[in-house]
Amino acid sequence: MGDTGSIDQEIGGLQQIDELESSDKSLLLNKPLSFLRQHRLLNAAEFDAVFKGKDYKIGSAEFLILAKRNSGSNSRIGMVIGKKTTKLAVNRNRIKRAIRESFRLNFSADKAFTTHLDVVIVARPSVNKHLKTGMSSILDKIWSNLGNKVEESLTRV
């Protein structure tokens, strides 16, 4: 059975939003940390640039991360989750959602790396073990390792 208390809170929250002025409403309803087109690698040429000119490579049992510095104003991500790795489309989509959310949270403007990166993340077959338990801790560890490698390379130069 559903919790009517949470439904009442949600309805009350929506009524409060309706009472706001239109400018305040747009600020509240817009997601400040959305995953925009400018944060994605969009075509084969952009993926190939990362595959061929990678500056950083990080591997784990679940993912392979390839990253290249870019001159743009945003870090961008591309994902490769093949049918051979994960057979069901619903599971491939879960993996993509988890990666996007983790990337969005770890590469947001306030937590951003000092260097903007193009990142390609390739799923490996062992990622399927973590579909039910969640991948956020694995991905957080990977982003941390990537950040350490980037900082280390910047201090060497």
pLDDT value at residue 55: 92
- Residues 6, 10, 12, 18, Cα dihedral to 10°: 180
Q: Is the Cβ–Cβ distance between 95 and 139 less than 8 Å?
A: no
Amino acid present at 100: R
- Return the bridge partners of 74, or none: none
> Residue 57: its pLDDT value, please?
94
pLDDT (0 to 100) of residue 25: 43
Q: How far apart are CA 65 and CA 59, in angstroms?
A: 6
What local confidence, expressed as pLDDT, does residue 81 receive? 95
CATH assignment of 37-156, among 3.30.230.10, 1.10.10.10, 3.40.190.10, 3.40.50.720: 3.30.230.10
Rounded to whole angstroms, the Cα distance separating 130 from 38 reads 29
What whole-number distance in Å separates Cα of residue 130 and Cα of residue 133? Answer: 5
pLDDT higher at 101 or 20: 101
- Tokens standing for 149? 């490698």
Give residue 17's pLDDT.
45
Q: In the chain, where are the structural domains located?
A: 1-30, 37-156
Q: Which of 25-39, 79-93, 138-152 has the lowest mean pLDDT?
A: 25-39
pLDDT tier, 68 (very low <50, low <70, confident <90, very high otherwise): very high
Quickly list H helices, the chain.
Answer: 4-19, 22-29, 44-52, 89-106, 136-156
Percentage of residues in the chain having pLDDT higher than 90: 45
* 72-101 per-position pLDDT tens digit: 888 899 999 999 999 999 999 999 999 998
Chain mean pLDDT for the chain: 80
